[in-house]
Chain A
Amino acid sequence: MNDMRIVKRDVDMNDIKISAKGVQVYYGDTHAIKDVNVEIKDKTVTAFIGPSGCGKSTFLRCLNRMNDTIDICRVEGSIQIEGEDIYDKRVDPVQLRAKVGMVFQKPNPFPKSIYDNVAYGPRIHGLARTKADLDEIVEKSLRRGAIWNEVKDRLHAPGTGLSGGQQQRLCIARAVATEPEVLLMDEPCSALDPIATAQVEELIDELRENFSVVIVTHSMQQAARVSQKTAFFHLGNLVEYGETGQIFTNPQDPRTESYITGRIG
């Protein structure tokens, strides 16, 4: 059973999910992202690493057009998901965000019950016809979020009453409940303690089975632990992109080597 999955994963890994070409991002007069080209594969965990302010979060937010909410932000170049340009004017960002889910740095559950937190996405997208359908989606999502066993007896307790790590896993469950194809994670473990971090990392590895996961992280150990591909950003440039093992053991660019060995950043 396990072996079968690995084989299936290997086959899928060849598909390119997101392809970004010549992406430039400006915040007013600031040139935040400079000509980034990257291809992100399906059913893979891709990590973006780099020092603070290098543009990795900005680039991540381009992938589901969350930057649209910032007035002064301007994006150029093309980002395609399965061959479709997401910045085409026919694309509704709301529809895009149902396909590309996002988990944020700080756990941000809605001040509602655990059940309603997870059920909100399916409800607004009309994914469930009946209450039973919805119950099923909620249970499945909470299981995928590896939090079902902890909350199954108190689904109607407030989501904000959970611990930090549980809240973040609830947010992941909420993100996967809409059945996205890509899951973006913006430093999902930076507000968590080591034990919660380990749980979330384990979860990310499991999510790889169904989703293409892109994770921004400050921790190089985390990138090494969870990702298959790693991209190193520096001062708005994508310096190096490759297999995680290669980036950490045999970086091609001297800047990558300096960052990994702790000399810049």
Chain B
Amino acid sequence: MSDQSASNGRISHGSLMVADPRTKKRNAAEARFRAYGIVAISIGVLFLAALAFSILRSGLPAFTQYVAKLEVTLSQEDYDAAESKMLKTAAYTDIFIENFSNALDERGVDVAYDSDAIERILGKVGGDIRGHYREHPDDIGRPVTFQLQTSSRVEGYFKGRVDRESLVDSRFLVKTDLDIVDALTDADILTGRFNWAFIKGTDAGVDNPGGAGIGAAAVGSLFMMLVVLLLSLPIGVAASIYLEEFAPQNKFTDIVEVNISNLAAVPSIVFGILGLSVFIQFMHLPQSAPLVGGLVLTLMTLPTIIISTRASLKAVPPSIRDAALGIGASKMQSVFHHVLPLAMPGILTGTIIGLAQALGESAPLLLIGMVGFVAREFPDGVVSGFLDPNSAMPAQIYTWAARADAGFYEKAWGGIIVLLAFLLTMNIIAIILRRRFERRW
């Protein structure tokens, strides 16, 4: 090649039909790079699938609960008689057992049981029934179908956590109880159903994993997200517009810029300490309130929103600003009428990323007292939703996961599913909004 190029003063390219060594090398490099990409994506998909599988496997049982269905008709006389007794709940338990054995006879089930076994399987049925009639006196004399929840260990038996071989007889459950459970299941008295109580339930489950629900914590998270959205979006967007479009370029703005980037990297627990000392100890805002949680998470979300908003403002072509200014629009008009609408999709993406981070954050919340067992009831209204002590989903999940009882552990996985459902909903809303704002013309 070299003597050829020397002879005619040009580089000889050779035949196009044969790939030269350089081309071969380049093509091989490209093929390798593609292979790396495919491998990387496959590993990612694999991990995602494994994660989704393990979450669903461990979490889905939390959405099923096992109940005993029994129709009871209580006459006024029975009610008066039971209420006049010293041990009222025991009287109701007797009424239940009477109805229960009738139901068993009807279905031809032959199994031995006593009131202790009933209590081990279904808990304190007398109290549940009495509570119902005291709350709904109209139901006296009418047939009422009770759905009584099984105890945590019986539920564990249904879900495979408890089996005959490993079961050690205790005052909570003995082996013969499982025979009763099997017989009741065959007779269709014990059935599984969707556990609405887990989603709507407000009991954080200090001692009863079966009744624990994530409802109150979900409402707490919702109110916190409202605070974060209402504060961080306007403040973040306004700050970025000022820094990007109006602020002069000098030392001071440089320092502000560097520090915003630094803030994005500050560990979230530091914001928790800050919230504790500023919002609670100094400003005396109520402890464990979603308002305070929202404020802390706002501090955490702001840098994310500011950075992404500035990036999307920067991406708007300067010709649009020139066009608006050239017509005689003021700086502010050019920004708000033309630049901001074009930057909107990017701003929304940043906001959703920030909100998703905030939604999944538990460390700063623990420091300001939004711990799992605080969530006990739904707030009465909007104001109390912000100010009354409540928890947030990640804090609730953390509390459940830290408990020894396998029932709580299952609830933690179920809570993660609810949390992910929240996140997915938020992302879908963001995608819909993006589509609306995006101008592909």
Interface residues of A (CB under 8 A from B): 64, 66, 69, 71, 94-99, 101-104, 106, 108-111, 120-121, 124-125, 158, 160-161, 171, 174-175, 178
Contact = CB atoms under 8 A, between A and B. Distances in A.
Contacts of A95: 328
List 7 tightest A-B contacts by C-beta distance, closest first: A98-B328, A102-B326, A158-B441, A108-B319, A97-B328, A121-B327, A108-B323
B95 interface: no
Give the interface centre of A69, A109, A174 by most chain B CB atoms within 10 Å.
Answer: A69
B325 A101 contact: no
Contacts of A109: 323
Nearest to A157: B441
Contacts of B116: none
B441 A101 contact: no
B241 to A, nearest CB: 16
Contacts of B333: 124
B71 to A, nearest CB: 66
Given A110-B338, A124-B333, A160-B441, A171 B325 contact: no
Contact of A111 (B325, B329, B342): B342
12 contacts: A69-B321, A94-B328, A97-B328, A98-B328, A101-B328, A102-B326, A104-B326, A110-B323, A124-B327, A124-B329, A160-B441, A175-B326
B320 A110 contact: yes
B319 A106 contact: yes
A96 B325 CA distance: 11
Interface residues of B, number: 21
B378 to A, nearest CB: 46
Contact of B325 (A97, A110, A160): A97
Contacts of B26: none
B37 interface: no
B337 interface: yes
Nearest to A97: B328
Given A104-B319, A111-B342, A174 B327 contact: yes
Contacts, number: 69
A167 to B, nearest CB: 11
Contacts of B327: 97-98, 101, 120-121, 124, 174-175, 178
A171 B319 CA distance: 12
Given A96-B328, A158-B439, 10 more contacts: A66-B322, A95-B328, A101-B327, A104-B322, A108-B322, A110-B320, A110-B324, A124-B327, A124-B328, A178-B327
B249 interface: yes
A178 B323 CA distance: 13
B323 A171 contact: yes
A66 B325 CA distance: 8
Give the interface centre of B249, B319, B324, B326 by most chain A CB atoms within 10 Å.
Answer: B326
A230 B25 CA distance: 57
A128 B324 CA distance: 18
A104 B328 contact: no
A88 B248 CA distance: 22
A71 B249 CA distance: 8
B330 interface: yes
Nearest to A68: B325
B330 A94 contact: yes
Nearest to A174: B327
Contact of A69 (B323, B325, B329, B338): B325
A178 B319 contact: no
A175 B249 CA distance: 31
A71 B248 contact: yes
A71 to B, nearest CB: 6
A71 B248 CA distance: 8
Interface in B237-265: 248-249
A263 to B, nearest CB: 31
Contacts of A97: 325-328
A108 B320 contact: yes
A232 B88 CA distance: 108
B328 A178 contact: yes
A70 B337 CA distance: 21
B338 to A, nearest CB: 6
Contacts of B321: 69
Nearest to A161: B441
A147 to B, nearest CB: 16
Nearest to A72: B249
A14 to B, nearest CB: 28
A98 B329 CA distance: 8
Contacts of B323: 104, 108-110, 171, 174
B328 A111 contact: no
A99 B327 CA distance: 9
Give the interface centre of A98, A104, A108 by most chain B CB atoms within 10 Å.
Answer: A108
Interface in B269-318: 317
